[in-house]
Amino acid sequence: MKNLSNMMKQAQEMQEKMQQLQEGLADHEVTGAAGGGMVQVTMNGKGEMRSMSIDPSLVDPNDVSVLEDLVVAATNDAKKKVEEHYQEKMQEMTGGMNLPEGFKFPGM
């Protein structure tokens, strides 16, 4: 019975840590870039885009496709950084727990 009680306590602690992590993700920001930094996308830790900046020299009405490609690349770069940050925080939180490879907690 002591093991069950201990497991329940650990589960409650994990739930509290998850709540803190989710709240912290909203405040954490990462910036993805493309075109040598000429296009930048900033997202919070939940993957919500917060801002974008585009160097005015990229704005060419005759060649919109280059700008579109750079926006997609910068967005993907930012999203990758968000996911890496999330995985890093999850690794810190779960410590030595042996979770299956590819396991993702809800919220990400």
Alpha-carbon span 11 to 38, nearest angstrom: 45
Residue 78 resides in a domain: yes
Q: Are 30 and 50 in contact (CB under 8 A)?
A: no
What pLDDT is stored for residue 16 in this prediction? 84
Query: What is the structure's pLDDT at 106?
Result: 54
pTM exceeding the 0.75 threshold for the entire prediction: no
Between the alpha carbon of residue 19 and those of residues 14, 22, 98, 101, 107, the distances in Å are 9, 5, 21, 22, 10
pLDDT in tens, 29-38: 999 999 999 9
Residue 99 lies in a domain: no
Q: Is 33 helix (H, G, I), strand (E, B) or coil?
A: strand
Domain membership of residue 36 (yes or no) is no
| 52 within some domain | yes
For the beta carbon of residue 54, count every other beta carbon within 10 angstroms.
Answer: 16
Q: What is the mean pLDDT of the chain?
A: 85
Number of domains present in the structure of the chain: 1
Domain of 88, in residue numbers: 43-93
The answer, yes or no, to whether residue 107 has pLDDT greater than 70, is no
